[in-house]
Amino acid sequence: MKEHDRLFTELKEDFRIQKMSQYIQHGKVSTYDHCCRVADLSSRINRRLRLHADEETLLKGAMLHDYYLYDWHEKDGGTHRLHGFRHPEKAARNADRDFGIDARTEHVIQSHMWPLTLRHMPRSREAWIVCLADKYVSLLETLFER
């Protein structure tokens, strides 16, 4: 548990990840807060259901799954069109550029929007957990935090 806490704290305190605080995700919730919630829920699901997913891959994937670094609500001449379909690729590229992520973490990020992004279906425990946690957290934020 201590390794989990250390890694989660390290990720949350990284200045690059904290940049997500500048952008709104759902309602009034920042992308940073959203990713922290998804990471926390993903970790709790993994522990409580004893799924034995790799904690490092799980936490990194969850904290970086929306690491696209822009406000998708702003009108911008069309570059954020189809955000729901495109942002996993952008987040994965940014995460690889800034953190040098491995293929497993990249897959968690790219597949978190499934089934919207049909070609990136979750294929690992970590990817399924983050995908489901993201759906649940997003629903609560959208309905109750406006």
Domain ranges of the chain: 2-73+82-144
CA dihedral 50, 52, 55, 56 (to 10 degrees): -170
Share the mean pLDDT of the chain.
Answer: 86
- E-strand ranges in the chain read 24-26, 29-30
Number of Cβ within 10 Å of residue 9's Cβ equals: 10
Q: What is the arithmetic mean of pLDDT over 98-120?
A: 90
In Å, how far from its chain's centre is CA 64?
5
The answer to whether residue 135 scores a pLDDT higher than 90 is yes
What is residue 24's predicted lDDT score, i.e. its pLDDT? 77
Taking 3-state DSSP, the helix, strand and coil percentages for the chain, each rounded to the nearest 5, stand at 65, 5, 30
Q: What is the arithmetic mean of pLDDT over 5-13?
A: 88
Which tokens is 52 given? Answer: 């034995």
CATH fold of 2-73+82-144 reads Hypothetical protein af1432 (1.10.3210)
Cα–Cα dist 101/92, whole Å = 8
What is residue 44's predicted lDDT score, i.e. its pLDDT? 95
Which tokens is 141 given? Answer: 């934020």
- pTM: predicted TM-score of the whole model, two decimal places: 0.88
